[in-house]
Amino acid sequence: GEQVEQLPSILRVQEGSSASINCTYENSASNYFPWYKQEPGENPKLIIDIRSNMERKQTQGLIVLLDKKAKRFSLHITDTQPGDSAMYFCAASGDNNAGAKLTFGGGTRLTVRP
Amino acid sequence: DPKIIQKPKYLVAVTGSEKILICEQYLGHNAMYWYRQSAKKPLEFMFSYSYQKLMDNQTASSRFQPQSSKKNHLDLQITALKPDDSATYFCASSQDGWGAGQYFGPGTRLTVL
């Protein structure tokens, strides 16, 4: 199976600065890497994803990098705002079968201080 | 309008009882999933269905049984409930079954006393 490690588990940054979260995976066959944001009492919401045929993807202040050789991917939030405070989860999926599961990292609790 | 509906939002059950968690999606997706989230395990895959067929089952216990009566429905029956089953159960769906673009429902928070 797949295992995904996520660091750090807790991250505190000042408003306007950048925040970076790193994940590593074990299965070299993994080919899809989404990121989810979860606010207290809410469901996880897909914020950005990247496939293995890309090394970088950017959208609305979010950057995802993928290093397949190192089996590592990361989320970078630029110009953080208090509204970015939440739990963030990375995940990996790689089975080329229908109904492929997502294996999640342990989560990062991000706090953006005003 | 919510595109993935889960019922009920909150559920309290006694040990040994049986409950059914309901999930319906109106995204036109072909694959549906169940995940569980608790303090012990943040987000844990349970089942996946594609075109109403079971694709993957990662639950060790037969007490958990998914039921798909229609393509856009995937209910979860839990029997002989235990306090350890207390968690939030999320239903998710995706357009195809390749795991991509999974969208989560609002969840059912289950407490077993």
Residues of B within 8 A of A43 (CB-CB) are 90, 104-107
What are the E-state strand segments in chain A? Answer: 4-7, 10-14, 19-25, 32-38, 45-51, 56-59, 62-67, 72-77, 86-92, 103-104, 108-113
Is residue A16 within 8 Å of residue A79, measured between CB atoms?
yes
The β-bridge partners of B27 are none
Predicted confidence band at A6 (pLDDT cuts at 50, 70, 90)?
A: very high
Closest residue to B99, CB basis, from A42, A43, A100: A100
pLDDT digits (tens, 9 = 90+) for B67-93: 999 989 999 999 999 999 999 999 999
**Facing residue for A101 by CB, picked from B45, B103, B107:** B45
Contacts of A90 in chain B (CB under 8 A): none
Q: Provide the 8-state DSSP code for A83.
A: G
Give the whole-angstrom CA distance, residue A60 versus residue A38. Answer: 17
The CA-atom distances, in angstroms, between A38 and each of A1, A33, A42, A113, B78 are: 25, 16, 6, 18, 25
Amino acid making up residue B15: T
pLDDT, position B47: 92
Sorting pLDDT into bands at 50, 70 and 90, what band is A97? Answer: low
Please report the pLDDT score of residue A1 as a whole number.
Answer: 75
* Measured CA distances, A24 to A29, A30, A38, A47, B109 (Å): 13, 11, 20, 19, 30
3-state class of A16 per DSSP?
coil
- What digits encode the pLDDT tens for the residues B38-68? 988 889 999 999 888 898 888 879 999 999 9
- Residues B12-24: tens digit of each pLDDT: 999 999 999 999 9
Average pLDDT over chain A reads 94
Could you tell me which residues are beta bridge partners of residue A7?
A22
Confidence of residue B113 (pLDDT cuts 50, 70, 90): very high
**Rounded Cα distance, B19 and A62, in Å:** 40
Q: How does pLDDT run across B89-110, given as a tens digit for each residue?
A: 999 999 876 667 899 999 999 9
